[in-house]
Amino acid sequence: MVAERWMLDGRAVAVATVIETWGSAPRPVGSHLVIDGMGNFSGSVSGGCVEGAVIAEATDVIASGAPKMLEFGVADETAWRVGLSCGGRIQVYLERVG
């Protein structure tokens, strides 16, 4: 697992997990994104601007150690403009590990 390898390398790591979806979502429940303190990442929880927002939030989670619940949603009409294939909502749990 990437998170375990990165922690063994001495990196601070956060893991984002899709815990719920409504409507159409690019990644299913259980999908993971691993992020280190330098902004390196592996995996996917969505696409477009959502992924960038999760990576940015991971910096705070790594620094504080406090987990966050994130929710992202977009209407069908505006989905393509933000880099998503279609409308829907996802809920992502972001936590520091190790």
pLDDT at 60: 96
Q: How many CB atoms lie within 10 A of CB 25?
A: 25
Going by C-alpha positions, the residue among 30, 60, 58 that lies closest to residue 45 is 30
pLDDT at 26: 81
pLDDT at 34: 98
Residue 33 lies in domain: 2-97
- Average pLDDT, 10 consecutive residues per value, the chain (98 residues): 94 97 86 96 87 94 97 70 66 95
- Structurally, the chain folds into a number of domains equal to 1
Instruction: Match 């601007």 to its residue by tokens.
Output: 49
